[in-house]
Chain A
Amino acid sequence: MATALKDFKWVGTRAVRPDGVEKVTGRAKFGADFSLPGMLIGKVLRSPHAHAKIKSINIEAARTLNGVKAIITGSDFNELPSEWVPAGEVQINFRDLSRSIMARNKVLFEGHPVAAVAATSEIIAREALALIKVEYEILPHVIDVEAAMSPDAPILHEDLFTAGVEPSPKTASNIAKRVDYSSGNIDDGFKEADVIIEKHFTTQPVHQGYIEPHATVASASEDGQCSIWTSTQGQYVVRAYCSEVLQLDISSIRVTPSEIGGGFGGKTTVYLEPLALALSKKAFRPVKMVMSREEVFRSSGPTSGSSMKIKIGARSDGTITAADVELKYQAGAFPGSPIMPGCMCALAPYNISNAKVVGYDVVVNRPKVVAYRAPGAPISEYAVECVINEIATKLNIDPLDIREKNAAKEGTRALYGPQFGAIGYIETLLAARGSNHYKSKLHENQGRGVASGFWFNIGGESCATININTDGTAELVLGNPDIGGSRASLAMIAAEALGIDYNKVHPIISDTSGLGYNFLTGGSRTTFAGGLAVNEAAEDVVRQIRERASKIWDIPEEAVTWEDGFVRPAGTNAGNFEPLSLADVAGMAAKTGGPISGHAQLNAQGAGPGFGTHICDVEVDEETGRVTILRYTVVQDVGKAIHPSYVEGQMQGGASQGIGWALNEEYIYDEEGKLQNAGFLDYRIPVASDLPMIDTIIVEVPNPRHPYGVKGVGEVPIVPPMAAVAGAIADAIGVHLTDLPMSPPRILKELNKKQ
């Protein structure tokens, strides 16, 4: 589209973010920074067992403790029907959501809430928790996905029967669902292959690891009006979920999002909000709840762990002839792993005629998984990319070449259905090959790996309002929490479209009452869909400005043009008037029809799929198995980088999360199903000294379905790192590892086996 190639005044610059000063001075209010007069402190009593029947809960002693104002347990919640409704990238079942935030007859994971207390101080709330007596009957539990699928596994849900198999099973199972996708005939495809590699992979659940724990304040008043202040990726989603779980009218709940200290998908659901609200409804006082870091690890997140079998065949020239993929994803205690996107993304970067992907959604006694950056995709794509790297090694083909040979391009039909439009996968491969990094030399014990990644990117519901003030400045009202600079990008789009100075646009994030429904900040949609809405709202403003100018000049509206921030008469026939700026027209708003305010509400379609290719160099200490990341480059097609710094930031942040996933992050359970490493000391996310600078190469193949060419950025960068790191380790030590994390003991073991 022509506009995407135009020179922009603001779009593409590195403007300072509007919320920046608040954040560098400590003023910005995050979830736990909010307080109200008369506020109580809420705390959750959590199950110490991985799987147990709740025989009884006695709250008497706690209830009579001085300072305790309310207690809730499972019996305070309605039973909801079990049905799946779409929620952006995933699906949600409100019955399960409700049971997941507060256990009913059974606890299904260590950390599962069984009661919550609101008291006048945190110290009293803790004392009260200690006074609640819960009698459990411990049941056998299962943590591992393969074990959960075995016929003699302990069953989590007696009413869970595998969906997607014919005939419908008669016995309950931990396998919630089977899904499959296929094209061509894989048997024929494998016959054509000169080399076939078949491998089994496992990955561990990993936590999103946002630095800000979940935090919320809820206040219910006697007239039924409820207010919630919370750290979330979607205030409207919190409102919807609370309304479902507590059976309240949507309009009775107003949710104000705080600044959010990271989410990565982990704050797309509710944990504390309905509990705080239920407590407040009993106590009629505001209730604040903040999770400890330990609670964050024991009862929120993570994404699925997995067990996977990948078989890929290729001709000696590198052409892939067939792929057979089997994925088993842990869902946690309730169905709903990202197995569908996992299946859909597994082979998406490649044009493969004969392919089959089968996936299983499996419940285990762990917290229910929740979205984590490109949910499902990093897992399956890691395994596929590793096998492609191994084929490249075997055929002695450069790993970028084998990818280019099989790469999806415009017109390729993805296994899951649609035909790709203007995608930039090959462009990322070419940019990677041309990089200085790829041409640089390696030394002893060092290795280089590459891997690619794909993610759909989504659109969805967005609204925006632009109120033009009489001095020509603008309030930009947005509906998505700003996790990493979206206020800046959207204000730039508004400034561009309105032809005014970026610093005259003041973006704010609205509560749920100030703007129509906005879906989450997630799915890499905020700049894409939000940008469309902002652009439309700006067009609405421009339409009104032209209308006002036509009144001022008393000429027909069609005779007024808008260009570079000014209205002018269209040609001399229209009249001879000096051009008016937005500020000029706004100053006369009262006399020409009242305030000028542009709106847009839409359900954005046409998000452009994102592709990235990463290059990683490592050094392996052969005596200890330690891996050092020496150099790392992220190449990604982003459509158009509205604010290049924040685009790079997404690429760098995603890559470092992926590096953590590759090397050290994992959940360690003991034999009783209790988590052993519920803290940042032993759940090892990368620290500053673990990483080198992360170089970025932004590729821009504009999205024709967006006025500024935006595709979506945030999720793709977490897809390639695991296979890129694995490839680099394989290059350094000659062993292709198949289990994550590739921690020092595991690598040392492989090295010892080799000798």
Chain B
Amino acid sequence: MIYERPNTVSEAVEILSKSHEKKSILAGGTDLLVQMRSGYYRPSHIVDIKNIPEATQIRDDGDTFLVGAGVPGAQLSEHVELIKAWPGVIEAMDLIGSTQIQGRATLGGNLCNASPAADSVPAMIAADATCIIAGPNGYREEKIENVVTAPGVSSIANNEFVVSIRLAKFKTGRADAYLRFIPRTEMDIAVVGAAVCVLIDKKGICLNAKVSLGAVAPTQVVIETAPQILIGTRLDEETLDKLAKAARASCNPIDDKRGTIEYRTSVAGVLTKRAAKIAFDRAGGA
């Protein structure tokens, strides 16, 4: 097993472009090391991206933030402007694992590990985030919802990697929220996750909205009817009930050790409704 630590994006792409059989990007390692240790996966090459400046910084790019794919959660939770702009994304990231896990785990790793239960992914989807991907043909930018294609499978090619995540800057009237259900209070993987982002006008009328769910289908789900249900309303009880119903209808979960189909579907509605209320309050709609 060979370990490499490139210093630039192009060096990394060069290593990735060589025909090694099993290459793994190492960001925080909180998924990769567990998989290696359990014998589930054994890469031949490990490419650590934590020495690449673009992947380890949070940069102000004019209208947007560029969050390096190797930035640990603990550092995101210290970034005042990001928290103000995207409380939901940051709280989703912050929910991942323990304080110790936060010292290492990254948004990029959470995304590229491609688990249907990944906490930050629905939140990034609701936030309309994108990711910057580097490969042999240079950079490309992809919407987050197009990255995870099946459990454990992503649309990032073998010779590509995610350099950073792009998130818009703060905007008055816009706010997001993320809630998940776990049996304990910490240290569990989401049984259901619900992310909601709303944009409201000064009177509290919803102008736009995006809602995404995790752990209720093979990949994260975008509730297509959510804008239709929410736009033009003040997120009153009746509207939220409609949203909860739409959330349940969009579930296609499995029965597994973490939850039953019935339970996941039912709680998806509850959490969507609760998260929508929080986002609405945060946007100033209370």
Q: Please give the residue numbers on chain A whose beta carbons come within 8 Å of chain B beta carbons, in ascending order.
A: 294, 623-626, 663-664, 668, 676-677, 680-682, 684, 686-687, 689-690, 743-745, 748-749, 752
**Contact residue among A624, A687, A744, A752 (Cβ-Cβ distance under 8 Å from B187):** A687
**B181 contacts the other chain (Cβ, under 8 Å)?**
yes
B257/A677 in contact, CB under 8 A: yes
Please give the distance in Å from A531's CB to the nearest CB on chain B: 38
**B186 contacts the other chain (Cβ, under 8 Å)?**
yes
List the 4 closest A-B pairs by CB distance, nearest first: A745-B263, A689-B185, A623-B270, A668-B257
Q: Given the complex, which residues of B lie within 8 Å of A624, measured CB to CB?
A: 181, 267, 270
**B89 contacts the other chain (Cβ, under 8 Å)?**
no
Q: Given the complex, which residues of A lie within 8 Å of B256, measured CB to CB?
A: 676
Q: Given the complex, which residues of A lie within 8 Å of B276, measured CB to CB?
A: none
A684/B184 in contact, CB under 8 A: yes
8 Å CB contacts to A: which residues of B131-186? 181, 183-186
A745/B260 in contact, CB under 8 A: yes
B184/A690 in contact, CB under 8 A: yes
**B14 contacts the other chain (Cβ, under 8 Å)?**
no
**B188 contacts the other chain (Cβ, under 8 Å)?**
yes
Query: A744–B257 Cα gap in the complex (Å)?
Result: 13
**Interface SS of chain B: helix, strand, loop or mixed?**
loop
Query: A632–B117 Cα gap in the complex (Å)?
Result: 33
A743/B183 in contact, CB under 8 A: yes
For A675, give the chain B residue with the smallest CB separation.
B257
B257/A687 in contact, CB under 8 A: no
Q: Given the complex, which residues of B lie within 8 Å of A690, measured CB to CB?
A: 184-186
Q: Given the complex, which residues of A lie within 8 Å of B267, measured CB to CB?
A: 623-624, 748
B270/A664 in contact, CB under 8 A: no
**B77 contacts the other chain (Cβ, under 8 Å)?**
no
A744/B270 in contact, CB under 8 A: no
Among A682, A684, A745, max chain B CB count under 10 A is at A745
**B19 contacts the other chain (Cβ, under 8 Å)?**
no
Q: Given the complex, which residues of A lie within 8 Å of B189, measured CB to CB?
A: 681-682
8 Å CB contacts to A: which residues of B231-286? 256-260, 262-263, 266-267, 270
**Contact residue among A668, A676, A684 (Cβ-Cβ distance under 8 Å from B188):** A684
Q: How large is the interface on B (under 10, 10 to 19, 20 to 34, 35 or more residues)?
A: 10 to 19
B187/A681 in contact, CB under 8 A: yes
Please give the distance in Å from A45's CB to the nearest CB on chain B: 13
Q: Please give the residue numbers on chain B whose beta carbons come within 8 Å of chain A beta carbons, in ascending order.
A: 38, 181, 183-189, 256-260, 262-263, 266-267, 270
Query: A676–B256 Cα gap in the complex (Å)?
Result: 9
Q: Given the complex, which residues of A lie within 8 Å of B266, measured CB to CB?
A: 748, 752
Query: A684–B189 Cα gap in the complex (Å)?
Result: 11
Among A624, A677, A682, A748, max chain B CB count under 10 A is at A624
B263/A687 in contact, CB under 8 A: no
Q: Given the complex, which residues of B lie within 8 Å of A745, measured CB to CB?
A: 259-260, 262-263
A687/B185 in contact, CB under 8 A: yes
B188/A744 in contact, CB under 8 A: no
Please give the distance in Å from A331's CB to the nearest CB on chain B: 24
B183/A744 in contact, CB under 8 A: yes
Query: A294–B40 Cα gap in the complex (Å)?
Result: 13
Please give the distance in Å from A293's CB to the nearest CB on chain B: 10
If A623-B270, A624-B267, A624-B270 touch, whether A687 touches B184 (CB-CB below 8 Å) is: yes
Please give the distance in Å from B109's CB to the nearest CB on chain A: 16
For B271, give the chain A residue with the smallest CB separation.
A624
If A677-B257, A748-B263 touch, whether A294 touches B38 (CB-CB below 8 Å) is: yes
Query: A743–B262 Cα gap in the complex (Å)?
Result: 14
**Interface SS of chain A: helix, strand, loop or mixed?**
loop
For B273, give the chain A residue with the smallest CB separation.
A623
A689/B257 in contact, CB under 8 A: no
Query: A421–B160 Cα gap in the complex (Å)?
Result: 76
For B37, give the chain A residue with the smallest CB separation.
A292
Query: A684–B182 Cα gap in the complex (Å)?
Result: 11
10 residue pairs A–B, Cβ–Cβ below 8 Å? A625-B263, A664-B183, A668-B257, A676-B256, A681-B188, A689-B185, A690-B185, A745-B260, A748-B267, A749-B263
A684/B183 in contact, CB under 8 A: yes
Q: Given the complex, which residues of A lie within 8 Å of B257, measured CB to CB?
A: 668, 676-677, 682
**Contact residue among B186, B258, B270 (Cβ-Cβ distance under 8 Å from A689):** B186
Q: Given the complex, which residues of A lie within 8 Å of B263, measured CB to CB?
A: 625, 744-745, 748-749
Query: A728–B282 Cα gap in the complex (Å)?
Result: 35
A664/B258 in contact, CB under 8 A: no
Please give the distance in Å from A707's CB to the nearest CB on chain B: 44
Please give the distance in Å from A624's CB to the nearest CB on chain B: 5
Q: Given the complex, which residues of B lie within 8 Å of A743, measured CB to CB?
A: 183
B259/A664 in contact, CB under 8 A: no
Q: Given the complex, which residues of B lie within 8 Å of A684, measured CB to CB?
A: 183-184, 187-188
Q: Given the complex, which residues of B lie within 8 Å of A625, measured CB to CB?
A: 263
Please give the distance in Å from B42's CB to the nearest CB on chain A: 11
For B187, give the chain A residue with the smallest CB separation.
A687
Q: Given the complex, which residues of A lie within 8 Å of B260, measured CB to CB?
A: 745
Query: A681–B182 Cα gap in the complex (Å)?
Result: 11
If A624-B270, A748-B266 touch, whether A682 touches B185 (CB-CB below 8 Å) is: no
Query: A687–B185 Cα gap in the complex (Å)?
Result: 8
Please give the distance in Å from A152's CB to the nearest CB on chain B: 27
Query: A681–B188 Cα gap in the complex (Å)?
Result: 6
Q: Given the complex, which residues of A lie within 8 Å of B187, measured CB to CB?
A: 680-681, 684, 687
Query: A682–B256 Cα gap in the complex (Å)?
Result: 11
For A691, give the chain B residue with the smallest CB separation.
B185
Q: Given the complex, which residues of A lie within 8 Å of B258, measured CB to CB?
A: 682
Q: Given the complex, which residues of A lie within 8 Å of B185, measured CB to CB?
A: 687, 689-690
Query: A745–B270 Cα gap in the complex (Å)?
Result: 14
Q: Given the complex, which residues of A lie within 8 Å of B183, measured CB to CB?
A: 626, 663-664, 684, 743-744
Known: A623-B270, A682-B188, A743-B183. 8 other contacts (CB 8 A): A624-B270, A625-B263, A663-B183, A684-B184, A684-B188, A686-B184, A689-B185, A690-B186
Q: Given the complex, which residues of B lie within 8 Å of A689, measured CB to CB?
A: 184-186
Please give the distance in Å from A53's CB to the nearest CB on chain B: 26
For A741, give the chain B residue with the smallest CB separation.
B183
Query: A663–B188 Cα gap in the complex (Å)?
Result: 14
Please give the distance in Å from A691's CB to the nearest CB on chain B: 9
Please give the distance in Å from B233's CB to the nearest CB on chain A: 22
Q: Given the complex, which residues of B lie within 8 Å of A626, measured CB to CB?
A: 181, 183
Query: A664–B260 Cα gap in the complex (Å)?
Result: 15
Please give the distance in Å from A627's CB to the nearest CB on chain B: 10
**Contact residue among B181, B186, B259, B262 (Cβ-Cβ distance under 8 Å from A687):** B186
Query: A743–B266 Cα gap in the complex (Å)?
Result: 15
Query: A690–B187 Cα gap in the complex (Å)?
Result: 10
Please give the distance in Å from A685's CB to the nearest CB on chain B: 9
Please give the distance in Å from A68's CB to the nearest CB on chain B: 19
Q: Given the complex, which residues of B lie within 8 Å of A663, measured CB to CB?
A: 183
For B256, give the chain A residue with the smallest CB separation.
A676
Please give the distance in Å from B178's CB to the nearest CB on chain A: 16
Q: Given the complex, which residues of A lie within 8 Å of B262, measured CB to CB?
A: 745, 749
Query: A744–B185 Cα gap in the complex (Å)?
Result: 12
Query: A687–B186 Cα gap in the complex (Å)?
Result: 7
Please give the distance in Å from B184's CB to the nearest CB on chain A: 5
Please give the distance in Å from A127's CB to the nearest CB on chain B: 12
Query: A681–B185 Cα gap in the complex (Å)?
Result: 12
Please give the distance in Å from A752's CB to the nearest CB on chain B: 8
**Contact residue among B38, B181, B184, B186 (Cβ-Cβ distance under 8 Å from A664):** B184
For A621, give the chain B residue with the smallest CB separation.
B270
Query: A748–B181 Cα gap in the complex (Å)?
Result: 13
Please give the distance in Å from B96's CB to the nearest CB on chain A: 12
Please give the distance in Å from B119's CB to the nearest CB on chain A: 14
Query: A676–B257 Cα gap in the complex (Å)?
Result: 7
Query: A744–B271 Cα gap in the complex (Å)?
Result: 14
Q: Given the complex, which residues of A lie within 8 Å of B181, measured CB to CB?
A: 624, 626, 744
Please give the distance in Å from B255's CB to the nearest CB on chain A: 10
Please give the distance in Å from B16's CB to the nearest CB on chain A: 26
